Amino acid sequence: MLARYFPILEWGKTYNGQVLTSDLVAAVIVTIMLIPQSLAYALLAGLPPVVGLYASILPLVAYAIFGTSRTLAVGPVAVISLMTASAAGAVAAQGSAEYLEAAITLAALSGVMLFVLGVLRMGFLANLLSHPVISGFITASGILIATSQLRHILGVRGGGDTWPEMLGSLFSALGEVNVWTLAVGVPAVIFLFWVRKGLKPLLMKFGMGARAADIAAKAGPVAAVAVSILAVMAFDLAARGVNITGAIPSGLPPFAVPSTDLSLIQQLFIPALLISIIGFVESVSVAQTLAAKRRQRISPDQELIGLGASNIASAFSGGYPVTGGFARSVVNFDAGAQTPAAGAYTAVGIALASLFLTPLLFSLPIATLAATIIVAVLSLVDLKTPRQLWTYSKGDFSAHMATILITLLAGVEMGVIAGVVVGLMLYLWRTSRPHAAIVGRVPETEHFRNIKRHDVITVPHVLSIRIDESLTFLNARWLEEYVLEEVAERPELRHVILMASAVNAIDASGLESLEAINHRLKDAGIKLHLSEVKGPVMDKLQRTHFVDELNGKVYLSQDRAFAEAMRDAGDDAPPPGDMARGMI
Amino acid sequence: MLARYFPILEWGKTYNGQVLTSDLVAAVIVTIMLIPQSLAYALLAGLPPVVGLYASILPLVAYAIFGTSRTLAVGPVAVISLMTASAAGAVAAQGSAEYLEAAITLAALSGVMLFVLGVLRMGFLANLLSHPVISGFITASGILIATSQLRHILGVRGGGDTWPEMLGSLFSALGEVNVWTLAVGVPAVIFLFWVRKGLKPLLMKFGMGARAADIAAKAGPVAAVAVSILAVMAFDLAARGVNITGAIPSGLPPFAVPSTDLSLIQQLFIPALLISIIGFVESVSVAQTLAAKRRQRISPDQELIGLGASNIASAFSGGYPVTGGFARSVVNFDAGAQTPAAGAYTAVGIALASLFLTPLLFSLPIATLAATIIVAVLSLVDLKTPRQLWTYSKGDFSAHMATILITLLAGVEMGVIAGVVVGLMLYLWRTSRPHAAIVGRVPETEHFRNIKRHDVITVPHVLSIRIDESLTFLNARWLEEYVLEEVAERPELRHVILMASAVNAIDASGLESLEAINHRLKDAGIKLHLSEVKGPVMDKLQRTHFVDELNGKVYLSQDRAFAEAMRDAGDDAPPPGDMARGMI
C-alpha cells in the first residue's frame, strides 16, 4: 500500500553500486543537456532564465520519490512554457514581480490539481484529448513558439499570444533589426539544425558508436552556448545591441510561496487545468514509450501524483509548471539511467550549476537561446499527420485542423478547449448514428449477412437487424427511430429480430428504448425477438422485467430465431440449398 | 423535396370528408380540455392566464403546416412553463411588462434555435440527455411545480426557484393562510384526483365505453372550473380573500414583437437552449409513441423545424414557449384525430373561446387552476424508476439521483446542465475502461472464451486478448496500458493476438494506439497479430501503413492465429481432444 504511493520504496530496495554507476553517468549527460534547455524554456515562458534552473532541481527530486517511470526526466518543456507565458501574460506584464508570482501560482495550482486527480484516480479525464487534437495542438504550439522566438533572432521587440498578432508585431518591427544579433542567431540556428541532422553520421564515420554519437549530438546546444559566449566577449557584442542574459543570481532555489489571492487563483484556474492535462498527457505517453522498451510498467494514476508533487515542489522553490519532457527523457534512457535516482543526481548537477556556473553565462546571447528553442520546437511541427488523417478519417482530420487553426488564431487555451469540444461533438455525432444492417441468411449456412452486400435469404414477414454498437443514451433514440422506420416501411411484418452479437453493453437509456420498441411493436401486432445477446449483457437484462415483458423470445442463435419466426408465420423453414432462394 | 419541409403537402392530398369529421370531433374534445390547462400553465409560468390561450392558437397552426406527427398537440406544458418562470424571473419581476417581454423573447429564441438545429439536422444533440437524466429532471420538476402551487391553495404569497426557497417561503407564510381559499383548493385537488382514478371505472360501470369514459374523465378539470366559478359567485368568495382570475381581455392574440435587446438575448440564451432541448426531447418521445401505435413515422429533424415554427408563431402572437404535450396529444389521439388539421381546428376552438368565453372566467379561483396543475404534475413524479435503475445500473442511478437533487436544490437550469455533465462523465468513465478478456481455446472446438469463466487452453508464449469495445480516443490510452501491463507480467511471451470480433470501429486515436503497441511490442521482441477484424474496420485499416508495418499478421479467424502462433514458437498445435490439456 505504502509502496503504491511511494514507488521509491520498491526500486530503492534493490539499489546497488552497479545501478548507482549507470544512474550517475546518465545524470552527468542529462545535466549538461539541461542547462541551456532550462534557460531557453524560461525565456520562452517570459521568465528570468534562472527560473528554468530552479524548475529543474526540486521537481526532479519529488518525481524520484513519487513517480513510477524509471527514466522519465521532468522539468520545463516547450509547450508548457508557452502556455505559462500565455496564462501569466493575461494577468501581469512580463518582467514584473506579479508575472513571476503568477507563474509560481500556476505551478502550485497545477500541482494540486494533478495530485487530487491522482488520488481520486481520475486519470481517465485525459482521454478527452484525442490523438488528432493533441497532435494538432502540438503542431500549432510549435509554430507559435518558433514565431515567438524570431524576434530574439532579429533583435527586435515584439509580442502577441496568437499567430496574427506575432506576425504583425514582427513585420512592424522589421526596420529595427539588429544585424549583430542576426549574425549570432542565424549561424546558431544553422549550426543547431546541422547538429541534429549531420553531426551523428559524421561522428559515426569517425568511428564513434551510434549511441555515443547520438548523445554527443544532443550536447550541440552546449557548444553553441560556449561559442556564442566567447563571440560576445571577443567582439564586445553587448555594446553593439546584442541582448545578453546578464547577471544570473547564483545560489540554490529560494523558498517561494504561491499566491493565495483568490481572484488570481480564479483567473488562473482554467489555464492551470489545461496545463495539467496537456502536461500529463505528454508525460504519460513519453513514460509509456520508454517503459515498454524495457518491459516495465508505469501507473498513470500514480504518475498524476508524481507530476503533482513535482509541480508543487517547483512552486515552492521559485519555479514554474513542469512535466516529463520527451528529449531529456530519451537522453536519460539512452545514457543508461536505471532508476529515478538518476533524476535526483541530475538535480544535484543542476544545483551545482546554479551555484557555480551562472557567472559564466553572463555574456550568453538571448539569440542563441532562441535558436535552441526554434530548432527544438520545429521538430514538433508534424506535416505528415494531416495527410494520414485525411486518408483515414475525415472526422478526425477536421478535429485536427480545427485545433491547429484555433490554436494559431485564438491562442493555446482556446485551442485546447476547442479541440476537446470538437472531438467530443464528433464522437457524439458518430455514436449517435451507429452502424446497423438488415441481415438475411446466407444460403446453405447458419450465417447471417448484410442484405446490401450479400445474396441472402429473407422473407417479408420477418425483419432481422444486426446492431453494430453498444446501446447507450447516445444512440437510444436512433435505435427507436431506425427500427420503427424500417417497420413502418413493411406492412406485412410480423417478427422483428434484433441480432445483438456486437452489442457490448446496454445502459438504462438503451434498455428503455428496447422497452419502448417492444411496447410499440406490440401495439402494432409485431413480435420482438433478441438473438446472440452476450453473456454480461444478458446477466444485466435478467435483473429487469424486460425479458418477462418481451413480446417475443431471446434466442442464443440468430439462425434459430429466424427459423422459428418463419415457421410461426405459417411458412416452413426453407430447406437448405438453392430451392430456398425462391422465397427471397 | 418541398414535401419534406412542408409535410402538410403530403397528408393534404388525401384529405376528405371522413377525415374531416374525425379531426373535428377530436378538436372539440381537445379544445374543452385545453382551456383550463392553458390558463393554469400560464399561471405556473407567472404570466397572465390569457397568455396561455394565446400560446394555444397560432403555434397549433404552425405545427399543422410543418410538423410530421399526425396527432401531436402542441401548446403550453408544465415543465416548460416552470423553466419559463425561472428564466424570465431571473431578468424581471413577475407581473411586469419586462417579464412578459422576456417570456415572448424566450419563445422567439427557442423557436429560432429549434429551427436552425432542424435545418442543420442536429437533432442528435438531444442525445446528450440520457433517460435517467430526463426522468430525474421531470420527477424533480414535478415536485418543484407542485410545491410552487401550494401557495395558491393556501392563499398565501410565496416564491423561490429552488425547493428549499419554496418550502421556506411557504412555512414563513403559514400564519396568513386564507381558509376560504383552502375551502376551494382542497376539495378541487381531491375531486381532480378522484376524477383521475375513480371516474373512469364509474362511467364504465354505467355502461360507457372505455375510450369515451377515458375522454370524459379528462374533462374533469372543466367541471372543477365550472363548479368553483359558481361557488365564488354564490358566496362572494372574492370579497373573502379568494384570489380570482379577474378580467381577461377578450379578443384574438395581439401581434407581439420579441425583444431585440442584445443583453437580454444574451441573458436568455442558455435558458432558451435548455427549454428547446427539453421541449424537443419530450415532444419527440410523445410523437414517437403515438406514431408507432398506427405504424406511422415521424422525422426528428423535421420535428425540430415544426416545433421551431410553433415557438416563433407563439412569440409573434404574444405567447410563451410551447412544445408537444403528453396529456393533450393522447386525448387528441384517443379522440380520433387523423391529421395535424385537428390541431388547426383546435386553434379555431381556442380562438373562439378567447373571443367569447373569457368573461365567464372572471370569477375563476386561482386555487382551482393550482389544483389542476398539482394533480397533473404529481403524475410526473416517478418513484419506480430510481429503484429499477438501482437494480440495473449504479451509474445510471447516480446520474438520475444527481439530476433530481441538483434540480431541487439549485433550480431547473442547473439541474439539466448537471444531468448532462454527470451523464457524459459517467459515459466517458465507462468507455475509458471497456471490457476485455484474455481468452483461450475451448478444447475440441474452434471457439475462444474468457480464461476466467471457462476451462480453456492457453500457452505461456501466446497471449490472446478479446476487446469488447470500439477503439476510440476515449479508450485508446486504456488499450495501451492494458496490453502493456499484461505483457509486462509474462516474461515468456512471444505472440500477442488481439481478437477484434467486437470492435465496431477504430478512430485515428485507436489506430495510433495500435501502432504504439506494435512498436513497443517490436522493441520487446514480441509479435502482434490481429484476428477476426470486421469488414468495414479492415477496409479503413488498409488505407493506412499499419497493416504493412504490423509486426505480425492479420488473421480471419482467431483459431488460425492461435494455431500459427503456437507452431511458430516451436511447439506443435495440440491435437484436438483432452491430450491437449496437458499443455495448459
Answer whether B476 touches A (CB < 8 Å).
yes
Q: Any CB–CB contact under 8 A between B473 and chain A?
A: yes
The string of DSSP codes covering B31-84 is: HHHHHHHHHHHHHHTTS-HHHHHHTTTHHHHHHHHH---SS--EE--HHHHHHH
Q: Mind listing the pLDDT tens digit for each residue in A170-204?
A: 988 888 889 999 999 999 999 988 888 888 888 88
DSSP states along B393-450:
-HHHHHHHHHHHHHHHHH-HHHHHHHHHHHHHHHHHHHHTS--EEEEEEPTTSS-EEE
From the list B130, B288, B481, which residue is nearest A300 (CB)? B481
B127 vs B567, more confident: B567
Across the interface, of B131, B434, B472, the residue whose CB is closest to A508 is: B131
* Interatomic CA distance for residues A402 and A136, integer angstroms: 8
Burial class (CB in 10 A: 0-12, 13-18, 19+), A578: exposed
State the average pLDDT for chain A: 86
Count the Cβ atoms, other than its own, within 10 Å of residue B210.
12
| Nearest one of B493, B502, B413 to B466, comparing CA atoms | B502
Chain B residues close to A480, C-beta within 8 Å? 288
Distance, in Å, from the CA atom of B60 to the CA atom of B74, rounded to the nearest integer, reads 6
- Region B467-473: mean pLDDT is 87
Burial class (CB within 10 angstroms; exposed 0-12, middle 13-18, buried 19+) of A445:
exposed
Integer Cα distance of A341 and A347 in angstroms: 10
Q: What's the CA gap between A498 and A514, in Å, rounded?
A: 10
Residues contacting B518, CB < 8 A, separation 6+: B528, B546, B549, B550, B551
Q: Give tens-digit pLDDT for B144-169.
A: 889 988 989 998 887 788 899 999 99
Of A155-159, A254-258, B199-203, B291-295, least confident by mean pLDDT is B291-295
pLDDT in tens, B374-425: 888 887 888 888 998 898 888 889 889 999 999 999 888 888 888 888 888 8
A132 in contact with B at a CB cutoff of 8 Å?
A: yes
The pLDDT score that the predictor gives to residue B570 is 52
Write down the H helix ranges in B155-199: 163-172, 179-194
On whether any CB of chain A is under 8 Å from the CB of B128, the answer is: yes
Cα dist. A390→A248, A387, B241, B471, B473 in Å? 49, 5, 73, 18, 17
User: Hey, which of A31-35, A496-500, B510-514 has the most confident mean pLDDT?
Assistant: A496-500
pTM of the predicted structure, to 2 decimals = 0.74
Give the SS3 label for residue A211.
helix
User: Closest approach of chain A CAs to the CA of B132, in angstroms?
Assistant: 7
DSSP state of A551: S
Instruction: Give the C-alpha separation, B474 to A474, whole Å.
Output: 15
Pull the grid cell for residue B470. Answer: 470500439
Cα B44 to chain centroid distance, Å, stands at 21
Sorting pLDDT into bands at 50, 70 and 90, what band is B102? very high
Looking at residue A381, its amino acid is V
State the residue for C-alpha cell 521509491: A8
| More confident site: B386 or B447 | B386
The predicted complex's ipTM stands at 0.72
The pLDDT value recorded for residue A284 is 85
Task: Name residues 417-446 of chain A within 8 A of B (Cβ).
Answer: 423-424, 427-430, 432-435
pLDDT tens string A499-538: 998 888 898 888 988 998 998 899 888 999 999 888 888 9
Cβ within 8 Å, pair B543-A296: no
Contact indicator for B275, B321 with CB cutoff of 8 Å: yes
Residue B191: Cβ within 10 Å count: 20
Return d(Cα A391, Cα B544) in angstroms, integer: 8
Of the listed ranges A165-169, A306-310, A474-478, the least confidently predicted one is A474-478
Which one, of B225, B49, B242, lies nearest residue B156 by Cα? B242
Whether the CB of A548 is below 8 Å from some CB of chain B: the reply is no
Q: What is the pLDDT of residues B208-217, one digit of tens each?
A: 887 778 777 7
pLDDT (average), residues A399-416: 89
Mean pLDDT, range B524-537, rounded to an integer? 89
Residue A365 per-residue DSSP state = B
- From the list B396, B432, B543, which residue is nearest A508 (CB)? B396
Q: ∠ CA(A282), CA(A284), CA(A285), 5° rounding?
A: 65
Complete DSSP assignment for A27-66: HHHHHHHHHHHHHHHHHHTTS-HHHHHHTTTHHHHHHHHH
Residue among A124, A389, A450, A452 with most chain B CBs within 10 A, to mutate? A124
Asked if B124 is an interface residue toward chain A (Cβ–Cβ < 8 A), one would say yes
**Any residues with CB less than 8 A from the CB of B77 and at least 6 apart, and which?**
B41, B279, B282, B322, B323, B324, B325, B326
Res B191: pLDDT? 92
Between residues B575 and A333, which one has the greater pLDDT?
Answer: A333
| Average pLDDT value for chain B | 86
Listed residue (A270, A313, A246) closest to A75, CA to CA: A313
Ranking A510-524, B2-16, B567-581 by mean pLDDT, the lowest is B567-581
Q: Which of residues 368-397 of A touch B (CB under 8 A)?
A: 388-389, 391-393, 395-396
A–B: how many Cβ contacts below 8 A?
Answer: 191
AA letter at B506: I
pLDDT tens digits for range A236-281: 888 888 888 888 888 888 888 888 888 999 999 999 999 999 899 8
Mark B423-438 as b/e (b = at least 16 C-beta within 10 Å). Answer: bbbbbbebbbebebbb
Q: What type of residue is A527?
A: K
Are A543 and B473 inside 8 Å of each other by CB? no
Please give, rounded to a whole number of angstroms, the shortest distance from the CA of B199 to a CA of chain A.
26
Average pLDDT of A405-427? 86
Q: What is the pLDDT of residue B321?
A: 96
User: Mean pLDDT, to the nearest integer, of A146-166?
Assistant: 87
* Contact across the interface for B470 and A472, Cβ inside 8 Å: no
3 state DSSP class of A462: strand
Alpha carbon distance A475, A473 (integer Å)? 5
Query: Confidence band (pLDDT; 50, 70, 90) for B42?
Result: very high
Q: Do the Cβ atoms of B393 and A292 come within 8 Å?
A: no
- pLDDT-based confidence at A577, cuts 50/70/90? very low
Helix boundaries (H) for B236-365: 262-293, 300-316, 326-334, 341-356
CA distance A83 to B308: 42
Least confident of B90-94, B264-268, B567-571: B567-571
Chain A environment of B127 (Cβ under 8 Å):
428, 432, 473-478
Degrees, nearest 5: CA angle A43-A49-A53: 120
**Region B61-79: what's the mean pLDDT?**
91
Q: How many CB atoms lie within 10 A of CB A379?
A: 11
Identify which has the larger pLDDT, B504 or B409: B409
CA angle A489, A492, A498 (to 5 degrees): 70
CB contact (8 A) between residue B468 and residue A428: no
Confidence bin at A569 (pLDDT 50/70/90): low
8-state DSSP, A127: G
What pLDDT digit, counting tens, does each position of A274-328 carry?
999 989 988 987 887 787 777 677 788 899 999 999 999 999 999 999 999 887 8
In the 8-state DSSP scheme, what is residue A255? P
